Each structure stands twice: as C-alpha cells, then as structure tokens.
Structure 1
Amino acid sequence: MQHEWTRRTMVKAITLLGAVGALPATAGPSSGPGEAAVRQALKRYAAAWTSGDLAAIVACYHDDFTLHYFGQSALSGDHVGKAAALRTLAAFAQRTRRKLIGVTDIMAGDRFGAIVAREMLMQGDQPVEVDRLLLYQVADGLLIECWVHDQDQRLIDTIIGE
C-alpha cells in the first residue's frame, strides 16, 4: 500500500516520533537555534542538493552529524559522525542509484526542520519514484542529526538488501 505524504501526516509522524522517544526531548521553545536559523540551514542544504553540488552538501553537515535509517536493510541503524554518515549515504546512493527529482517542501521550527523530497530509485532495472521525509536537527547553523522516513520502507529495504 502506498502512502501519500500530506502536511497532516508529516506533523503526525513528527509528533509521534517525539512521543515515542525517537527524538531527543526539547527543553522548551528557546532550546534551539530558532525557526529562521533552521529554515536557513535547510534551504542552504536543499539548494546544494538540488544543484548537485557535493562539496556544498557535505559543508552543510556538522562534524557530529548522525544519520538514522529505519527499516531492516544493511544500512539500517544509527550512523554516528560525519564520516560514518557520509559512507552510509554513499552506500545508499550506490545501491539505489538515487536521483533527486525535487524538494517538495521545507518546514522549520525552533529546533527541528523537515524536507520532503521526491527521488527516483532503481529497483533492478525498474525506476521507482518515492517520497522521503527527512527530519533534521540543526546546531551551529549546520545539520547535526537526520531521521530518514521513507514512504515505502519495505521497498527501500528490498532495494538496499541485507
């Protein structure tokens, strides 16, 4: 069953993540860099990603960047540190032959922001389009943590493999 991302389902997903402890607890509205700083960091990242500027993409990641992949694939889990996260992203790109179709939406709050992106992945020789919700925490103007939520996690697990 395919799931269509809507702003309402994204808000529910983000709220649920906080409720089940998948996100760190916030001390309050002033505990983050603020909505403008979060939005600026996400816009800078989205512009680099859209233009395919790898150096600019990498420059958007904090040295302590952590990447969280869900599911049951060989890449599932927490990838702590910029180098580990970059290795995982490279492995994902190699296994899926991903191509960004476009950034559909950018949302920002005081501490967290989200990007909804549409990508084309290859399942064997068949192209498959998927929507992905990338939830980011921002610190020092950089992306410090990312939780990747795929529209169809089973499909992603199948493409990546064990």
Structure 2
Amino acid sequence: MLNTVKAYFSTLAAGDIEGFASLLADDIVWHQPGHNQFSGDHKGKADVLKMLGGMVEYTHGTLKVVLDGEIMLNGNLAACPVRFSGNNGTKNVDLTGIDLLEIQNGKITQVWLFSAGGGAEDEFWG
C-alpha cells in the first residue's frame, strides 16, 4: 500500500499521467472539495483524468502537489499531508491540505481531498 501512495506523489511530480492513471481503479471515485469548476464527485478513471487535465490546463502546467509530511496509514486508508500550488496567469494558489486515499489490491479506489483554505481555493479555481 505504501508503494502505491509513494507512486501517487512521484507520478504527479513527474507529470507522468500514464503512470498516475495506472494507479487508479477503473471505478475510482474522486471527491473534489469546494464550490468551483472542478468540485464534486468524479466517477471513473476517465472523469478523474479529465478533471486533472483541466486543472493542469487552467494552471498552464504550473500545478504542483507535493507530500508535506508523514504518510499516515490505517487499514486500507492513507492520509497524506500535502502542499499544492499553481498559477493561472493572474492568480496564485499555495495551500496545504490532506489527500485521503483508499487503496484496494494496489489500486486507488477513492480519494477525498481536504484543503486548509477552501475559500481561497474556490477563488483560484473560479
């Protein structure tokens, strides 16, 4: 399980979409917080990748999500402190949060994201 979590962050950092996609269960559910264009539940690998692609496009490729503390495991869940940042050409975002990953048989089946600055995140994503 820890290897899957580490690969989640290394593929994101490398911009390795194919590698990242290989970590996701086909029926993954991604719970994106807030009240913005990317918020809501994204169901299925294709929908999750479309959302992430939209985020990368919106930030002109500057979106970064990095591990910002120790990974905490409990059963099939991994709570990961993160720092995420990006620039859309007129605004910056640089916030901390928690990515909570549910992992079954080496695949990420659900993701819940928690942001320390929900209002700032909504303002950034529009």
Over residues 49-87 of structure 1, what are the superposed CA-to-partner deviations in whole Å (9 max), with x where a residue is unaligned? 223322111111111111111211122211111111111
Aligned residue pair count? 124
For residues 114-129 of structure 1, what are the structure 2 equivalents within 5 Å? 114-122=79-87, 124-129=89-94
Q: CA RMSD in A?
A: 1.9
Letter in 1 for 2:32: Y
- Conserved? CA contact 2:9–2:65, under 8 Å: no
Identical amino acids, percent of aligned pairs: 23
- Determine the structure 1 residue equivalent to 2:43: 80
Q: Is the 8 A contact 2:29 2:41 kept in 1?
A: yes
Contact kept, 8 Å, 2:13 with 2:66, in 1: the verdict is yes
Question: Which residue is equivalent to 2:117?
Answer: 152
Q: Structure 1: 5+ residue runs without aligned partners? A: 1-36
| Contact 2:93 2:121 (8 Å CA) reproduced | no
Which of the pair is proportionally richer in strand? 2
Which structure 2 residues correspond to residues 7-86 of structure 1 after superposition, within 5 A? 37=1, 39-86=2-49
- Give, in angstroms, the shift of residue 126 of structure 1: 3.8
- Unaligned runs of 5+ residues in structure 2 are none
Moved beyond 6 Å, runs of 4+: none
Do the aligned partners of residues 112 and 92 (structure 1) sit closer, same or farther apart at CA in structure 2, a change above 3 Å counting? same
> SS of the counterpart of 1:86?
helix
SS in structure 1 opposite 2:34? coil
**Preserved contact between residue 9 and residue 66 of structure 2 (Cα < 8 Å):** no
Superimposed CA distance per residue, residues 13-43 of structure 1 (whole angstroms, 9 cap, x where no aligned partner):
xxxxxxxxxxxxxxxxxxxxxxxx2x22101
TM-score between the two structures when normalised by the length of structure 2: 0.85
Match of 1:102 in 2: 66
Cα distance in 2 for partners of 1:123, 1:91 equals 12
Computing the radius of gyration over CA atoms, which structure comes out larger, 1 or 2?
1
Q: With structure 1 as the length reference, what TM-score do the two structures score? A: 0.68
1:88: how far off? 1.2
Q: Which residue of 1 aligns with 2:56?
A: 93
Quickly say closer, same or farther: Cα 1:101–1:44, change in 2 above 3 A. Answer: closer
